[in-house]
Amino acid sequence: MFPGNPLFGKRPLAHRCIGLTAVLSAATLAMSGPAYAKPPTERKPPSAAATPEIAEKQADLGELRSRIEGLRKELSSSEESRADAGDRLRESERQISRLQRELHELNEQRSQSQRKLKSLEQQSQELGVTLSQQQAQLEKLLYKQYLRGTPDSLQLILNGDDPNQMARDLHYLSAIALTRAELMGEINATLDRKKALAADARERSAELAEIEAEQQKRHTELQKQREERKNLYAQISSKVNAQRKEIGNLQQNEKRLTNLIDRLSKILAAQAAQAAKAARAAEAARAAEAARAAAQQQKEKHRPAATEDKEVARAPSTTETARPRPVETENRYEPVASDGSFARQRGSLRLPVRGAVSGRFGTSREGGGTWRGLFIKAAPGGEVKAIANGRVVFSEWMRGFGNLLIVDHGDAYLSIYGNNDSLLKQVGQPVKGGETVATVGNSGGNPESGLYFELRHQGQPIDPMKWASLK
């Protein structure tokens, strides 16, 4: 019995404990119920004040994108006015690439939302365990207080009990009351946290449903666009094949790509010059280090100079005798993440996609001329991966190469990925070795599905097989 305590009244202990547990359990279920009531709301990215360093990087990225966009428009306006059958596929292939990229981004958002929702569920389960433990502790305290009763101080004095025992009893009952109050506070805090988690889970569930609906919409658009391209290609396939076999057509495509590379190289060189100018501002502080390095060089003056094995970076001449067509070899490896300068990775790189290497650098190709890169046969939709760390400097459709992506690896080294089904990265985005940047396709009027791959240094094509290993 708990005289004078309105919280417990005069019901038996078993009824009171069962009642308390039921109330707390009901509150728990209410706070952790299914998350379906909240309607989808528009997601807003968190706003934060950009630091000067971030603002400067964004300005540099905007300038790079602006320059390359201007270059793309200039190249498009200066192309031949004659009709090209492959150009009829341009808009369709651009749309396919855009939809694939959006689906890729939505899939990443969906994965993030699922991970967050799973984390919220785990936190809710942990809070449920904590709440059960707190309930058990509270029930034990209530039972102990019930056994001891709640006599007041005056009653203890009038009973004539031992003053020391009376003091101990009062202290014990006071400690129980304090602990009970703390436990009730912890239980209320736990219930509040579960309520907040439930609200967050509802919001994440709504976001997930919205993303899935958007994915379905993009997927439907993509299927429609693929069907339109398939029908269009069936109508003009004979003309596409005829134009591909025209003498000089491949040379025109190669010239167009070389022109693009030259212009990109100038843009990148200008940015490198700006970075070098900024670095020279701090050169005075390193004067002592430079003097010490000069002294060290003086000591090594009489040592034989090491000769560096440099590859002659020149385009294969169309007048040279073409080497015999090699047997196709299978590439079974994919690029992986790597550090250090690009030049140091010569001989250890992996090709961007798994498949049969058919067209080889320097060998003759149908339609005239020689291969300036490799063609790797691969199934549609396969992942195309960056061969090393770098930054995307071109991501657009181009006549003869379809959806084309170019990555700058620094020190005037570029890797080129053509005939893609979709481009998953945009200009200015950094990439890591082994990161998926595109998907395999046959855009640009290519009859076979696969990847056209080139390596260039200072604007000139170099043999990828001297840099990559198939073993």
Quickly list DSSP for 247-313: TTHHHHHHHHHHHHHHHHHHHHHHHHHHHHHHHHTTGGGGHHHHHHHHHHHHHTTTSPPPPP-----
Quote the CA–CA distance of 38 and 131 in Å, as a whole number.
Answer: 26
Quote the CA–CA distance of 449 and 438 in Å, as a whole number.
Answer: 13
Quote the CA–CA distance of 419 and 443 in Å, as a whole number.
Answer: 5
Quote the CA–CA distance of 361 and 371 in Å, as a whole number.
Answer: 5
Q: What fold characterizes domain 1-31+83-237? A: Helix Hairpins (1.10.287)
410: left (phi over 0), alpha (psi -120 to 50) or beta: left
Q: What homologous superfamily is domain 250-277+323-471 in, according to CATH?
A: Glucose Permease (Domain IIA) (2.70.70.10)
* Residues 362/371, Cβ–Cβ less than 8 Å: yes
Closest CA to 100 of 382, 399, 385, 432: 382
Quote the CA–CA distance of 419 and 97 in Å, as a whole number.
Answer: 11
Task: Parse the chain into domains and list their residue ranges.
Answer: 1-31+83-237, 250-277+323-471
80 phi and psi angles, rounded to 5 deg: -60, 145
Closest CA to 38 of 207, 194, 191, 196: 207
Q: What SS3 state is found at 465? A: helix
The angle subtended at Cα 85 by Cα 82 and Cα 91, nearest 5°, is 100
The angle subtended at Cα 359 by Cα 353 and Cα 361, nearest 5°, is 100
Q: What SS3 state is found at 127? A: helix
Quote the CA–CA distance of 413 and 390 in Å, as a whole number.
Answer: 10
Closest CA to 434 of 335, 338, 342: 335
Residue 447 tokens, joined: 């009859």
Q: Mind listing the pLDDT tens digit of every residue in the chain (471 residues)? A: 334 443 333 344 334 333 434 333 433 433 334 333 343 444 444 444 445 555 555 666 666 667 777 666 665 555 544 455 566 778 888 888 888 888 888 888 888 888 888 888 888 888 888 888 877 877 877 776 676 665 555 665 666 566 676 676 666 667 767 777 787 888 888 888 888 888 888 888 888 888 888 888 888 888 888 888 888 877 777 766 666 655 566 777 888 888 888 888 888 888 778 777 777 777 777 777 777 777 777 776 655 544 444 444 444 444 444 445 555 788 888 888 877 789 899 988 999 999 999 888 988 877 667 889 999 999 999 999 999 999 999 999 988 899 999 999 998 999 999 999 999 999 989 999 999 999 999 998 788 899 999 999 999 999 999 999 887
- Evaluated on CA atoms 72, 77, 83, 89, the torsion sign reads positive
Quote the CA–CA distance of 201 and 211 in Å, as a whole number.
Answer: 15
The pLDDT value recorded for residue 117 is 81
The per-residue DSSP string of 20-45 comes to HHHHHHHHHHHHT--S-SSPP----P
* Residues 214/106, Cβ–Cβ less than 8 Å: yes
Cβ contacts of residue 336 below 8 Å, gap of 6+? 350, 433, 434
Residue 10 tokens, joined: 């005069």
Quote the CA–CA distance of 402 and 383 in Å, as a whole number.
Answer: 16
| Residues recorded for the chain | 471
